[in-house]
Structure 1
Amino acid sequence: MNFTPIIKEVGRGIRGARGLDAVAAKTAFAALLEGEVSDIQLGAWWLAMRIKGETPEELAAFVDAMHGTLAFRIKTDRPVAVLACYNGARQLPNLTPLLAWALAQLGMRVLLHGVTQDATRVTTHDLFAALNFPIAESAENTERALNERGMAFTPLDALHPKLAALISNRWRIGVRSTPHTVTKLLLPIDGPSVRVIALTHGDYIERMGAYISTQPDAKALVFRGCEGEPVLHPKRAVSVGIFENETSHMHDWPGVTVHDLPDNCEIATTVAYIESVIQGARPMPPWIDWLARHVHLLSYGTYSAKN
């Protein structure tokens, strides 16, 4: 593909850059997924999009291209919470596996997707493996885990190898960009679902909300996650956007003044903490319980602005 016209449109800086129309955006992202773009043009596009940001129209087209090349989809007749896990922890313990377990205890099915390793952080995949929670790399195994255990972590390498290869360029270029935003919208579910989407910056949250608000029948919670993972920060007040059928409203997690979290995010320490909650030796952290209840309410169509 001749990518030069694409870069000329998006690479004019934060004020001069223009958004691509839907056809051009979908074609461009498909070419990126297929590896049809040279390294130098990939790098130019990567940084240009990080500076410019995605328009709702571009984001919708990128998501369409992504979903068109999924390795497999999961069929379900029960609501599935879909958690995107691409950041990991480097300070506080990563309690995403505990949120998945809490949702499963409420009778939900929970599909988590993400990276399998990050040399600088503790990933959700690391913790699932250490906790002996189900990790599934095929449609059959994922559906079995959802039915039998209520949850499954499916690596992006298995779910969408082309997208996994694309976002891995982060390590060569040095920063994340549009592919990471698009990946958090991945929805490999045929059936009812709700996406739990955590981001790291306010402007990304606005863009994501603008996109989701245009999608009929979409359900999602969007918020600034704890180090980017799909859980709330215990001590920070967090505004959570609730999106349902092209409507939206905000709910605020107020934060807590004290908590009993360990002072590091090491795998063994985090696993011990999560297991102590599962075994009833300590209560469910209130920020995990709060988020689980809101996800459950939205999933089963009983949500309202009063909840």
Structure 2
Amino acid sequence: MSQAFRSLLQKVGSGSHTSKDLSRAEAAIATCMMLEQEATPAQLGAFMIAHRIKRPTPEELAGMLDAYDQLGPKLTAIESAYPVTVFSVPYDGRSRTLPISPLTALMLAAVKAPVVLHGGDRMPTKYGLPLIEIWQGLGVNWQQLSLAQAQQMLAETGLSFVYLPRHFPQAQAMVPYRDQIGKRPPFATIEIMWSPYAGNTHLVSGFVHPPTEERTVASLALRKRPFFTTVKGLEGSCDLARSRTAIIGLGQINGMFDRLLLSPRDYGFSTEDPPLLEEADAIAALQSVIDGKPSEVAQSAIWNGGFYLWRCGVSHTLEAGFTLAEKLVLQGQLQQKLAEVQEAIAAQVLVTS
């Protein structure tokens, strides 16, 4: 048994009246010890569930993110006119609504606003449809790339994916514990505010419950990450809903935090979120948008794409963002970008083989 870890476990696991918060440094140490499995399996499971019950503080989350920076993968900075947008979405996937972020990523990359995504395979507790499978269905196999190749993809195409099982095996090793405790541990919280990119970043973090957003904002402030966006998105993702007013937080470079409420009706959009279909049908629905065909899914792509084109600085107004997003879809720019990404990955794999 790790005696050093035992003392940290005792602090968070002593019950509602006597448990204590960890300092940022202690949280970083505890996370490193878990990721490197210096703690025993019993200690790992106990810490995860105790920390969930206690609820992590912003200081603890900042420390956990420090550990991810220390041990995890990092794509190095590239030359870009815009900060690299990092979409941080729940790793346990989608079970009710169709993911739109692959279309948003293609749209941003098509206008040279780079995007980094990250995630893994189907993961507890939901085991929903993950981004990696959607991309695979679209003919983009991020799983086979080394981190160096993922770096090259970002530099060449403005789009890349950090794949947990291959690029961050220490974090992937925590997945069985997540399954066995049957609840989302704090690891699931830091994933929605983690950036595996070392350069100038625009972090986008999805959330469901307001306290999660509050902790995200406070944690990013402690880590001096002022430029970020929080989205009360579909199933906690970064996808803006059309069925309700979008609740968005705007972390500004000057350190200010603004609230933005967007009603789809105000911009001429219908209020319907495309439901999640069987996987083959879901891929076909996304592909139809990439092919430039009008649909309800295309409307969600324009709604999301227009907002992010504005937020990333490509468009000066929201209205201009929606106009540009529609143009990119109808004129086949998403199709061209997807083909470029497919060809670049094929070239990377050919070099390796």
Alignment TM-score, normalising by the size of structure 2: 0.77
Q: 1:134 touches 1:145 (CA, 8 Å); kept in 2?
A: no
Of 22, 25, 30, 2:24 maps to: 22
Distance across 1 between alignment mates of 2:10 and 2:305: 47
How far apart are 1:28 and its partner, in Å? 1.0
**Cα deviation per residue 1:19-70 (whole Å; 9 max; x = unaligned)?**
1112222211111111111222222211111122221211111111111012
* 1:95 and 2:100 are equivalent in the alignment: yes
Q: Name the residue aligned to 1:247.
A: 256
Q: Name the residue aligned to 1:84.
A: 88
Distance across 2 between alignment mates of 1:260 and 1:27: 45
More helix per residue:
2
Letter in 1 for 2:88: A
Of 267, 292, 296, 2:312 maps to: 296
**Cα deviation per residue 1:59-86 (whole Å; 9 max; x = unaligned)?**
1111111110124433312221111241
SS of structure 2 residue aligned to 1:249: strand
Distance across 2 between alignment mates of 1:169 and 1:230: 26
Deviates more, 1:255-264 or 1:122-131: 255-264
Q: 2:75 touches 2:151 (CA, 8 Å); kept in 1?
A: no
Letter in 1 for 2:103: L
Q: 2:250 touches 2:259 (CA, 8 Å); kept in 1?
A: yes
Identity %: 25
Q: Name the residue aligned to 1:127.
A: 134
Q: 1:14 touches 1:52 (CA, 8 Å); kept in 2?
A: yes
Q: 1:112 touches 1:154 (CA, 8 Å); kept in 2?
A: yes
1:39-188 equivalence runs, <5 A: 39-78=41-80, 79-85=83-89, 86-118=91-123, 120-133=127-140, 135=142, 137-188=145-196
Paired residues in the alignment total: 303
How far apart are 1:243 and its partner, in Å? 1.2
Q: 1:82 touches 1:195 (CA, 8 Å); kept in 2?
A: yes
Q: 2:242 touches 2:273 (CA, 8 Å); kept in 1?
A: no
SS of structure 2 residue aligned to 1:49: helix
Q: Name the residue aligned to 1:275.
A: 287
* 1:224 and 2:232 are equivalent in the alignment: yes
Q: Which runs of 5+ in 2 are unaligned?
A: 322-353
Distance across 1 between alignment mates of 2:102 and 2:176: 23
How far apart are 1:284 and its partner, in Å? 4.2
Residues 273 and 154 of structure 1: is their aligned pair in 2 closer, same or farther, counting only changes over 3 Å? same
How far apart are 1:91 and its partner, in Å? 1.1
SS of structure 2 residue aligned to 1:227: helix
Deviates more, 1:202-211 or 1:220-229: 220-229
Q: Name the residue aligned to 2:335.
A: none
Alignment TM-score, normalising by the size of structure 1: 0.88
Q: Name the residue aligned to 1:258.
A: 270
Q: Which runs of 5+ in 1 are unaligned?
A: none
- Deviating beyond 6 angstroms after TM superposition, the runs of 4 or more aligned structure 1 residues are 300-303
- RMSD of aligned C-alpha atoms? 2.6
Distance across 1 between alignment mates of 2:176 and 2:229: 26
Residues 129 and 259 of structure 1: is their aligned pair in 2 closer, same or farther, counting only changes over 3 Å? farther
How far apart are 1:15 and its partner, in Å? 5.4
Residues 239 and 109 of structure 1: is their aligned pair in 2 closer, same or farther, counting only changes over 3 Å? same
How far apart are 1:301 and its partner, in Å? 12
Distance across 2 between alignment mates of 1:13 and 1:57: 20
SS of structure 2 residue aligned to 1:185: coil
Q: 1:74 touches 1:142 (CA, 8 Å); kept in 2?
A: no
Distance across 1 between alignment mates of 2:140 and 2:312: 21
Residues 268 and 149 of structure 1: is their aligned pair in 2 closer, same or farther, counting only changes over 3 Å? farther
* 1:287 and 2:294 are equivalent in the alignment: no
Residues 13 and 205 of structure 1: is their aligned pair in 2 closer, same or farther, counting only changes over 3 Å? farther
How far apart are 1:207 and its partner, in Å? 0.4
Residues 167 and 232 of structure 1: is their aligned pair in 2 closer, same or farther, counting only changes over 3 Å? farther
SS of structure 2 residue aligned to 1:74: coil
Q: 2:23 touches 2:59 (CA, 8 Å); kept in 1?
A: yes
SS of structure 1 residue aligned to 2:239: coil
SS of structure 2 residue aligned to 1:191: coil
Q: 2:264 touches 2:271 (CA, 8 Å); kept in 1?
A: no
More strand per residue:
1
SS of structure 2 residue aligned to 1:169: helix
